[in-house]
Amino acid sequence: MSSGIRIDKYLWAVRLYKTRSLATDAIRNGRVKMNGMPVKPSHEIAEGEIYELSIEQMHRTVQVKALLGNRVGAKLVNLYLTDLTPQEEYERIQMARQYSFEKRDRGSGRPTKRDRREIEEFKYS
């Protein structure tokens, strides 16, 4: 029996994915790569390896600092993982979040039929 840790379990344990099955699905769909090549969920990780992850629209690069078997608290993640994601990627996501949806003033209620028509005309013309 090997003493390595599966990558799907590691990504879940360091809180990159909410559940282990989400991590497994991401790996199977090719959204987790090592050296530009997709890995399998059963891939055993080693310290110092660098992985590229696509989580929603964000592309993250992480390096394994230490191995762990169980999920850790958010404050302890830095002991097991180094985030190598460029700052520009975080800025790009922040900008996308600001402009990704319509905002209405709080307490203004639902848009009227006239408001909806104006919104549709503005969005699609």
Is 0.85 surpassed by the pTM of this model?
no
Helices (H), the chain: 7-13, 20-28, 87-98, 113-124
107 conformational bin, left if phi > 0, alpha if psi -120 to 50, beta if neither: left
Residue 51 is predicted with a pLDDT of: 96
| CATH topology for the 1-90 domain | 3.10.290
The per-residue pLDDT for range 50-105, each reduced to its tens digit, is: 999 998 888 999 999 999 989 999 999 999 999 999 999 888 888 877 765 667 78
3-state SS, residue 76: helix
Cα 96 to chain centroid distance, Å, stands at 15
Give the CA dihedral 90, 82, 63, 98, nearest 10 degrees.
-10
Residue 27: the pLDDT is: 96
Mean pLDDT of 41-54: 94
